[in-house]
Amino acid sequence: MEINVKSSGQVTLVEMAGDIDSNTAPQAHERILPLVQPAAKILLDMSGVEYMSSAGLRMLLSMYRQVSRQNGGIVLVGLAEEIKDTMSVTGFLNFFTIRDTVDEGLKALG
Amino acid sequence: MERIDIHPTHTYGEFKLRAGRPLPFGATRVEGGINFSISSRHASSCTLVLFKKRQSEPMAEIPFPDEFRIGNVFAMVVFGLGYENIEYGFRMDGPYNPQEGHRFDPAKILLDPYAKVIGGRDLWRVQPDWNDIYQHRGRMVFDDFHWESDRPLEIPIEDMIIYEMHVRGFTRHPSSGVKHPGTFAGIREKIPYLKELGINCIELMPIFEFDEFENSRTHPATGELLLNYWGYSQVGFFAPKAGYAATGKFSMQVDELKALIQDLHNNGIEVFLDVVFNHTAEGNENGPTISFRGIDNQSYYMLTPEGYYYNFSGTGNTLNCNNPMVRNMVLDCLRYWAAEYHIDGFRFDLASILGRDPWGAPLSNPPLLENLAFDPILAKCKLIAEAWDAGGLYQVGSFPSYGRWAEWNGKYRDTVRKFLKGDMGQVGEMAQRIQGSPDLYWWRGPSASINFITAHDGFTLADLVSYNQKHNEANGENNNDGSNDNDSWNCGWEGPTDDPEINALRCRQIKNAVAFLMVSQGVPMIVMGDEIGRTQQGNNNAYCHDNELSWMDWTLLKSNADLFRFFKNCIAFRKAHAVLRNRTHLRNQDYVGSGYPDISWHGVRAWQPDWSGASRILAFMLCGAHANGGQHQDNYIYVALNMHWETHLFELPELPQRMQWHVFANTIMPPPEDIWKPGSEPWLEDQQQFLVGSRSAVILVGK
């Protein structure tokens, strides 16, 4: 999987591509974790992610917990329909702010 | 500081190993690896078999080194295993001597009895690869669900209204309109419906992993594929059925089920599981070897002196529940579901088997039942026994309860059905059933009685009033299966009819039945779809039908809207009146000085019940000052039941001063005057007497 990190004003934009499963989730976690500073605003652009396994969803929730603990915000954009559905059915979706596009995501974090 | 026991001490091929911990049993994530633990009293050796997910051949087989065995437990940590993408099983070696009870076969790969996720039947009704050497595959579970502040609801049992449901049948019908028909997610979408109906508990028919293809066959005449649709035959006791989850294909059934339970709890609805510990899916000596048979046949099963399988369950084998090791497994299992899934209660299928010793004799103080009753984790769970088995043990009223166990009251069902169809000689017993069966549960209280008229076994309520005989031809067993004792009455024609009088009578009988249920002391249970007149076309044993015969047809909600409204208001009425939900038995006395006994009995003349054999009439009044042992003030409630085919004029008992009778329900009236929303009951003009129609029920409220 690939991870690109950019800054857009106050917001850290993380672009992810590829499958997120138990093989790749730890490396994604390792890469994103240092970005979680106090009051960090993180936008995860998932439009390049086709599949997320159980471990992948757990990585997301773990990010959410760490961001919340530091009074930050996290928004997901570009979720594939099936991933969104899986997140909904398993209750993971309840924790996240979801937007369709990066622009809307930035607005939501603003 | 890191632990010093996280480093491997042994090597086997490319795998790093370490002696494992015997507890907990099963596969558990530990630092750097997975701890595998399995016990067998009679195995001589054990090998761990590892697969990459869904691969046909194992990726590795690792024998447990002898020094990794403690007692009868083989325990080993394997380091560096991917958690999500492996499947595991075991090979066990030991004696093959069926007469002694041993059937070890190291050629077989065996499922862990403690497997928390089981693959192999990930999608419902998708034909498995029958050549696969490992059909039901142990997988790892993520047991770190985001429960937030959820926990079991602990609704007092006397306040419960149980709705028995088949997970797939509830939303599989195309008319359900849900996104994921036939799944846990589907139920979640229907929570608003359940709330509108007013029930506060769903009891799920078996959801532990089973094989819908067990004994599957094609009906010779119809060509219909007949499956093990109900699932009363467990492959494993710790894993939810993957095929019931929309996310089963991603092995996320555990999270999906937990999300459903969490959402139900948020909406005030408890979840009970129908658990089947009396037998397994391995059948008799001709059945498949999936797990228990190959791990420790002599311990897990009740065996005859010749080494054959006792069949107290009617399905081929009997789990040896009072073997101390099996007993512990059952306890571990229920603790797991209560602690990890927040399950609120359990209904035990053929529970009398759990009270038999390893040779089949009923025990007076069965250790398993006692363990469950006093277990600290299960302490607030409701425990409900189906208090009989297929071996002839019938314990309704005498099931060893330890003050904790409730029972499916089969006598409630039988009496109410007979009374409903106008049988003579029922009035006396009916009075017991209405009071929560103090004749059966005199020291246990009315909430020991789960009152039901219909359940998954037997006719639906609509069929109970439409068929005299069962019609099970579609099961392909020449109509020989299913009970012949249905106490049903077709109201004048067998099956569907255009006759408006018969149809009106049937509708009335359904309303009468639910009215009985909701004004009886004890805990009412209804079965999925009865509230909208679901039919199985006279089939009273639809266990094998994964089709429209079994599925709930949601278009009935429109065509039978009046029935739904009647159920809804009856349920709301029960919830509104504490006097219907007493925790302790009625005393038939005035012990608060209201001038009225807590319950009084009447006939066509007030204060003069007719207990004679030919009577089909019963009326009673509940005194509101005695609600919940006199702790609450409620309205007075008068119920007149006329199961005679003629109309009768009932004299009404006089109310205390300043109270007046109001009409809540009168089943002979056409809707909307058959029932009123609780609180909006119209005042009754004639306070002295009430004309009760033929075969109908009247409920009045004094306020």
CATH value at residue B682: 2.60.40.1180
pLDDT-based confidence at residue B249 (cuts at 50, 70, 90): very high
**pLDDT, mean of residues A47-56:** 94
Query: Given an 8 Å threshold on Cβ–Cβ distance, is B82 in contact with A23?
Result: yes
Residues in chain A: 110
Picking from B377, B288, B365, the residue whose alpha carbon sits closest to that of residue B339 is: B377
In this predicted structure, the answer to whether residue B315 has a pLDDT above a threshold of 90 is: no
Residues B390, B396, B399, B404, Cα dihedral to 10°: 120
Residue B71 Rama label (left phi>0; alpha psi -120 to 50; beta): left
Instruction: Out of A22, A89, A91, name the one closest to residue B82 (CB).
Output: A22
Each as own residue / partner, the long-range contacts of residues B503-507 (CB below 8 Å, 24 or more positions apart, any chain) are B505/B465, B505/B695, B506/B462, B506/B465, B506/B466, B507/B562, B507/B563
Percent over 90 (pLDDT), chain B: 95
Query: B600 lies in a domain?
Result: yes
Instruction: Out of A22, A61, A86, name the one closest to residue B83 (CB).
Output: A22
Rounded to 10°, the helix B324-341/B292-300 angle is 120
Q: What is the nearest CA distance from B287 to chain A, expressed in angstroms?
A: 34
pLDDT-based confidence at residue A82 (cuts at 50, 70, 90): very high
Sign of CA dihedral B277, B541, B532, B693: negative
pLDDT at B543: 97
In this predicted structure, the answer to whether residue B359 has a pLDDT above a threshold of 90 is: no
Query: Given an 8 Å threshold on Cβ–Cβ distance, is B146 in contact with A91?
Result: yes
CB-CB neighbours of B520 under 10 Å: 24
Are the C-beta atoms of residues B107 and B18 closer than 8 Å to each other? no
pLDDT at B43: 98
Query: Given an 8 Å threshold on Cβ–Cβ distance, is A90 in contact with B256?
Result: yes
pLDDT at B360: 86
In this predicted structure, the answer to whether residue A8 has a pLDDT above a threshold of 90 is: no
Alpha-carbon distance of B367 to B555, in angstroms, equals 48
DSSP B35-94: EEEEE-SS-SEEEEEEEETT-SS-SEEEEPPGGGEETTEEEEEEET--SSSEEEEEEEE-
Question: ipTM beyond 0.90?
Answer: yes
Chain B CA closest to residue A86: B247
Query: B454 lies in a domain?
Result: no
Q: List, in sequence order, every beta strand (DSSP E) within B470-541.
A: 523-527
H or E, element range at A74: strand A73-77
**pLDDT, mean of residues B369-397:** 94
pLDDT, tens digit, 9 for 90 and up, residues B62-117: 999 999 999 999 999 999 998 899 999 999 999 999 999 999 999 999 999 999 99
Chain B CA closest to residue A84: B247
pLDDT-based confidence at residue B239 (cuts at 50, 70, 90): very high
pLDDT, tens digit, 9 for 90 and up, residues B87-100: 999 999 999 999 99
pLDDT at B307: 94
Residues in chain B: 703
Q: What is the nearest CA distance from B403 to chain A, expressed in angstroms?
A: 37
Sort B2 into a burial class: Cβ within 10 Å, 0-12 / 13-18 / 19+: exposed
In this predicted structure, the answer to whether residue A1 has a pLDDT above a threshold of 90 is: no
DSSP one-letter code for B398? T
Cβ-based interface (< 8 Å): residues of A facing B: 21-23, 53-55, 57-58, 61, 85-86, 89-92, 95
pLDDT at B6: 87
pLDDT-based confidence at residue B583 (cuts at 50, 70, 90): very high
pLDDT-based confidence at residue B314 (cuts at 50, 70, 90): confident
Residue B41 Rama label (left phi>0; alpha psi -120 to 50; beta): alpha
pLDDT, tens digit, 9 for 90 and up, residues B589-648: 999 999 999 999 999 999 999 999 999 999 999 999 999 999 999 999 999 999 999 999
pLDDT at A5: 93
The alpha-helical segments, DSSP class H, found in B577-649 are 627-630
B191: helix, strand or coil: helix
pLDDT-based confidence at residue B391 (cuts at 50, 70, 90): confident
The alpha-helical segments, DSSP class H, found in B486-607 are 500-519, 556-559, 561-576
pLDDT at B197: 98
Instruction: Out of B180, B185, B251, name the one closest to residue A54 (CB).
Output: B251
Q: What is the nearest CA distance from A21 to chain B, expressed in angstroms?
A: 8
Q: From the CA atom positions of chain A, what is the Rg in Å? A: 12
- Domain that includes residue B694, residue range: 587-702
Burial state string for B151-177 with b = 16 or more CB within 10 A and e = fewer than 16:
ebbebebbebbbbbbbbbbbbbbebbe
Domain A2-109: give its CATH code.
Answer: 3.30.750.24
Chain B CA closest to residue A62: B146
Alpha-carbon distance of B363 to B386, in angstroms, equals 17
H or E, element range at B187: helix B184-189
Tokens of B348: 């035990």
Percent over 90 (pLDDT), chain A: 85
Tokens of A4: 């690109």
Contacts of A89 in chain B (CB under 8 A): 180, 184-185, 188, 246-247, 252, 256, 259
Report, as residue numbers or ranges, the catalytic residues of B.
349, 386
Contacts of A95 in chain B (CB under 8 A): 146
Alpha-carbon distance of B237 to B228, in angstroms, equals 17
Alpha-carbon distance of B666 to B433, in angstroms, equals 21
Percent over 70 (pLDDT), chain B: 100
Are the C-beta atoms of residues B117 and B85 closer than 8 Å to each other? no
Q: How many domains does chain B have?
A: 1
Residue A7's alpha-carbon distances to A12, B33, B350, B379, in angstroms, are 5, 37, 63, 54
pLDDT at B46: 98
pLDDT at B4: 86
Are the C-beta atoms of residues B393 and B356 closer than 8 Å to each other? yes
Tokens of B116: 């928390």
pLDDT, tens digit, 9 for 90 and up, residues B263-300: 999 999 999 999 999 999 999 999 999 999 999 999 99
β-strand pairing of B382-385 with B405-408: parallel
pLDDT at B179: 98
Query: B618 lies in a domain?
Result: yes
Are the C-beta atoms of residues B487 and B418 closer than 8 Å to each other? yes
Query: B330 lies in a domain?
Result: no
Query: B599 lies in a domain?
Result: yes
In this predicted structure, the answer to whether residue B440 has a pLDDT above a threshold of 90 is: yes
Contacts of B142 in chain A (CB under 8 A): 54-55, 58
Question: Is pTM, for the whole model, over 0.95?
Answer: yes
Query: B655 lies in a domain?
Result: yes
pLDDT at B256: 98
A vs B: CB pairs below 8 A = 53
Q: What is the nearest CA distance from A20 to chain B, expressed in angstroms?
A: 12
Q: From the CA atom positions of chain B, what is the Rg in Å? A: 27
Cα A61–chain centre separation: 9
**pLDDT, mean of residues B345-366:** 92
Percent over 70 (pLDDT), chain A: 100
pLDDT at B44: 97
